[in-house]
Amino acid sequence: MRITWFAWLARHADEFGYGDGPLRASIGTGAVAVTAALFWCALHRNRPAAMAAAGLTCALGVGWLAFH
């Protein structure tokens, strides 16, 4: 599912404001993914909290990248 999401994001990159080029967009999206992974690892003992924190981090991070 994650691969499908990245493929969808790549197809619609212009709609989300990734106009600074694919390298900068990749770096920003990678940073968001790493941050979400860190939240997951920090909260791994409480799986629902880990999933919620990682999902919220991804949504807010990609949203911020898209509109700023």
Q: What pLDDT digit, counting tens, does each position of 12-50 carry?
A: 766 665 666 777 777 888 888 888 888 888 888 888 888
Q: Please state the pTM of the whole predicted model.
A: 0.63
Please give the residue range of the domain that contains residue 46.
Answer: 21-67
User: Does residue 5 belong to any structural domain of this protein?
Assistant: no
User: Does residue 54 belong to any structural domain of this protein?
Assistant: yes
Specify the number of domains making up the chain: 1
User: What pLDDT is stored for residue 64 in this prediction?
Assistant: 81
User: Does residue 63 belong to any structural domain of this protein?
Assistant: yes
pLDDT greater at residue 30 or residue 10? 30
pLDDT at 9 over 80: no
Whose structure tokens read 């900068």? 24
**Among the listed residues 24, 31, 25, the one whose alpha carbon sits nearest the alpha carbon of residue 11:** 25
